[in-house]
Amino acid sequence: MSHRQVMKVLSGLLLGMFVAILSSTVVSTALPRIVADLGGGQSAYTWVVTASLLSMTASTPLWGKLADLAGKKVLVQSAIVIFVLASAGAGLAQSTGVLIAFRAVQGIGVGGLVALAQVILASIVPPRERGRYSGYFGATFAVATVGGPLLGGVITDTPGLGWRWCFYVGVPFAVIALAVLQRTLRLPAARRPDVRVDWLGALLVAASVCLLLVWVTLAGDSYAWASWQTAAMVGGSVLLGLLFVRVEARAADPVMPLWLFRNRTIALSALASLFVGVAMFGSTVFLSQYFQLARGESPTTAGVMTIPMIAGLFASSTVSGLVITRTGRWKAWLVAGGTLVTAGLGLLGTMRYDTAYWQLAVYMGLLGTGIGMMMQNLVLATQNQVSAEQLGAASSSVTFFRSLGGAVGVSALGAALSGRVSHYVEEGMAAAGIPQSGAAGGGAIPDLGGLPGPVRQVIESSYGHGIADVHLYAAPLALVALLLVLAVREVPLGRRAVGE
């Protein structure tokens, strides 16, 4: 395909990706207001994000396998329809429980959009040229990520709109993406007469991941980390995971072929993606909370203040994609990215509620630059290792592990944040001689405007210190990702598309 033909197809895919990323980022700055209006606490705050990540994670391998067996165009359009319906339902939610349920359905659609966009790109563009187009995906991710918080903040602060329009705003874009793909996407039929969808494998991997995330979210709050509930839930998750491996080893068309992970590059890239997901999703979620609850900024201002991270992501993903296309070499970018992510998280672990903004801007810039170098290029390295028949499964496997890292990271870091904020609030109240009311601890999302001055300062300080702690906890995981990419064996990118 010529560059012009590819760009026509990509116009629809990029719009779909924009909608998918926007659905998460447009809500991030509005979450404190949403959870407070619906009467939720820190657990609900975490689950509004985790629910969509969880369903996205669980559904990604299935979308990828279906792409290897059926028509990719119908699948990506189905994902958009699911997303539109769920977004409308989330906007109408009257409780955190209903909102979380619709976010879970929304995540299924997002999983399809993210997985299938990568698969379709790899079907029409050879690996050597794919870095160039992967840069467009990275740039789209950056624009949606920077535009989302800004748009969400403006919508939330605008009289007559409010936070519910954060869910409605993506619907028109999704409908346009549907129409564009209908007009531009022309792929040969990929249906096979012996199609066998591994429903049992998909069910087992979803159940294993769900049980693990429920445990991570509730442990330390509803029950102790060392308790019979922990033993039962972790043991159950491990058992379901082992059953999944057994089923996949015997399935005719496994949803996640185990032989893929015998390939060193694929195995290491998947594991590195797991830890990159923690940094990517965890930081974007909790930085918005930091600017609103530790520094007292409005949702709009909170979105503006995250621009340095997104600018770094935008620049590094675009530049790395162009250079990789020119040279065919990609490992150096992964190593540099892992180094910057580790450094960025470690430096953000030192921030407090009164840290100078220019310092935060530098730290966020380092983190965003590192994520941009790693995110798309891990998928690219994996796609370079497989044939056309396994492209969907291989691509979705890396995306699955990245989403899994994000879901587990947001849940675990959210649980840790709740505990650390409660601890710092107790310390701060005692030091100031203020009676502990319990209403402003780590369980409930506080309304800073309604708090007395001394109490507000304690709350802001507690959130600043607590959110710094969760970044510090994530830094060693980024270091593990760096060690994994160092062990990857570089294979120069090929010049033929997988369909040739």
What does the DSSP assignment read for 349-414?
Answer: TT--TT--HHHHHHHHHHHHHHHHHHHHHHHHHHHTTS-GGGHHHHHHHHHHHHHHHHHHHHHHHH
What are 475's two structure tokens?
């830094």
Binning pLDDT at 50, 70 and 90, where does residue 441 land? Answer: very low
State the helix-helix crossing angle for 307-327 and 357-383, rounded to 10 degrees. 30
**What pLDDT score was predicted for residue 42?**
63
The residue whose two tokens read 């033993």 is 231
Q: Is the model's pLDDT at 347 over the cut of 90? A: yes
Residue 444 has φ and ψ, to the nearest 5°, of: -105, 145
**What pLDDT score was predicted for residue 372?**
84
28, 21 Cβ separation under 8 angstroms = no
**What pLDDT score was predicted for residue 1?**
63
Least confident of 312-316, 390-394, 468-472: 390-394
Per the prediction, the chain carries an average pLDDT of 79
pTM (predicted TM-score): 0.73
Q: What angle do CA 444, 448, 454 make, to 5 degrees?
A: 105
**What pLDDT score was predicted for residue 389?**
61
Binning pLDDT at 50, 70 and 90, where does residue 499 land? Answer: very low
**What pLDDT score was predicted for residue 191?**
53
State percent of the chain over pLDDT 70: 84
Q: Is the model's pLDDT at 495 over the cut of 60? A: no
How far apart (Å, rounded) are the C-alpha atoms in residues 382 and 432?
A: 55
Residue 251 has φ and ψ, to the nearest 5°, of: -70, 145
How far apart (Å, rounded) are the C-alpha atoms in residues 290 and 285?
A: 9
How far apart (Å, rounded) are the C-alpha atoms in residues 272 and 460?
A: 34
